Structure 1
Amino acid sequence: MSETAVENPTAGSPLDEPVIVDAVADAVPKPATTPDGSFTTRQSREEATIEARQFVYDQSFGTLTTINQSGNFEGFPAGQIEYYIDDAEQDATLLLIAVDMSSAFRNIGSGSPCSLAIRTGDQPNGETPLHAAAAKRIILYGEFDYVEPSLKVKAAFFAAHPDALEWAPGMPGFHKTQWIRFTITGIHYIGGFGDRHYIGSLPVDKYVDAPVNERCKHPESDSFLSRLSRMTWR
């Protein structure tokens, strides 16, 4: 690790002690190289599509961005965190709960386009990457439809988000909520730094067909399924 002395521009003389400016840069993972020292080919679009599919499946929080349709900030984008699960059995669509009083879903109801941004570090109790700029993130563009999912899918949602049972559709004593399904129509993926990872659009059809490892995704689903089957909904 190298050290560089940095001059103080206000004092006009070098600082008393050298400032380590390369520590972070030295720790950033470098691209794989061939024996002659040249960089190997960066991640392909096909590899990125498979990686992105698994990434979205493994996460469960995203920032839903819409365009304000009224009020003081009409015309400005607004983003808010939303819970979701990836429904691998329904063409890689995402399942969410819409709270009718939410500004985001009011915007969507008034015709706003929307996108869902997902990144490493937003997940509860998850690790925040040391180099956030090199972390995976993805923007999904799409459309919402109101649905009535099966108890199995609901159980998977609450296994991922047990606190959301409080505002589940049909539960008394809360604002009106509804199940909604997000169908992906466009994808922009950032796999990390562009010299070694893919950055750009991904084909939706290939993304939907990409395999996912579902191991241990929703370990509490069975217990929630049993609980939901005994509940009385309004």
Structure 2
Amino acid sequence: MRFLAASLACLQLAAATTANLQHLFVNPEPGVTSLHIPSIHESAVQARRILNLSSIATISTVFPVSHVSALENRPGDLEGASIALMEYYASCGPRSYDPTILAIGIATSFKNACAGSNVTLSLRYHPPTTSHPPADDLYTYSPANLPRYSLIGRIEPLSRAEIEENQIQSCFLNLHPDAQAWTPGNPIHESWWVRLVVEEIYWIGGFGDRAYIGWIPVSEWRSVTEEEVRNTRLVGERGYSTTNMISDEL
């Protein structure tokens, strides 16, 4: 009965959707909108820029089907349930498209990952605090119209050579100086450097009549150059244009 009630509620909501709002969360057919919808590659560039601009995301994992340690004091009925927590990350080293993370052995996310869980890192774009939309603009800066996406993949430890050659620790601490307290070798918790090997990307660039919504092939994600990332602009950034993501001031 609860499922039926929820289904009816969804049907009523869909029926109430007005014609001019029907493409807020899906893309229209070609030619339906006069607004420029970024291509998949342009969307990949936007996503990579957000990855570089940000350094905090939400990491999601799934609890394993396994014995629960009494020391953990975890409920015993969480098998298969997901949990999402804040996580520091940084784009370091030659594979900047695979975020670097400082994994802590005691952290739930990494216990789940070590038990075989896939990992999802979710990010959203935050416009500069110095930028403000026009007083009569309800939608441009609406969180529902701003880009957000999820990176789905697996955790892979970094080798000692990778860490040293690419100065991973200094790169990470440049963004998260407080993390010095729990870097590898600290006396508090066991920790190690890992990367999220991105295998799938799901992107919501904004409302569907003006932004791409859907999957970005990992080949597109990896093919984005650092020059493209530097030159593109997102809403609220100086030089942003709705018809051309490349800064007009470059």
1:205 Cα shift?
1.4
Which of 218, 241, 246 matches 1:204?
218
The residue that corresponds to 2:175 in the other structure is: 160
**Of the two structures, which has the highest relative contact order with CA contacts closer than 8 Å and spacing of 6 or more?**
2
The residue that corresponds to 1:223 in the other structure is: none
Residues 139, 187 of structure 1: 8 Å contact kept: yes
Aligned-residue Cα RMSD (Å) equals 3.0
Q: Secondary structure at the match of 1:186?
A: strand
- Unpaired runs of 5+ residues, structure 1, are 1-24, 26-37, 216-234
Q: Is 197-206 or 41-50 further displaced after alignment?
A: 41-50
Amino acid of the structure 1 residue aligned with 2:107: S
**TM-score when normalising by structure 1:** 0.68
Measured in 2, the distance between the counterparts of 1:122 and 1:185 equals 27
Distance of aligned partners of 1:127 and 1:146 in 2 relative to their CA distance in 1, 3 Å threshold:
farther
Residues 119, 155 of structure 2: 8 Å contact kept: no
1:121 Cα shift?
4.2
Pair 1:117 & 2:122 matched: yes
Detail structure 1 runs of 4+ shifted over 6 Å in the superposition. 125-129
The residue that corresponds to 1:7 in the other structure is: none
The residue that corresponds to 2:156 in the other structure is: 145
Structure whose residues are more often strand by fraction: 1
Distance of aligned partners of 1:63 and 1:126 in 2 relative to their CA distance in 1, 3 Å threshold:
farther
Residues 57, 212 of structure 1: 8 Å contact kept: no
Which of 100, 108, 130 matches 1:103?
108
Pair 1:47 & 2:62 matched: no
Residues 142, 183 of structure 1: 8 Å contact kept: yes
- Unpaired runs of 5+ residues, structure 2, are 1-20, 22-32, 67-75, 133-139, 231-250
Distance of aligned partners of 1:122 and 1:109 in 2 relative to their CA distance in 1, 3 Å threshold:
farther
Alignment coverage as a number of residue pairs: 179
**TM-score when normalising by structure 2:** 0.64
Measured in 1, the distance between the counterparts of 2:51 and 2:112 equals 24
The residue that corresponds to 1:218 in the other structure is: none
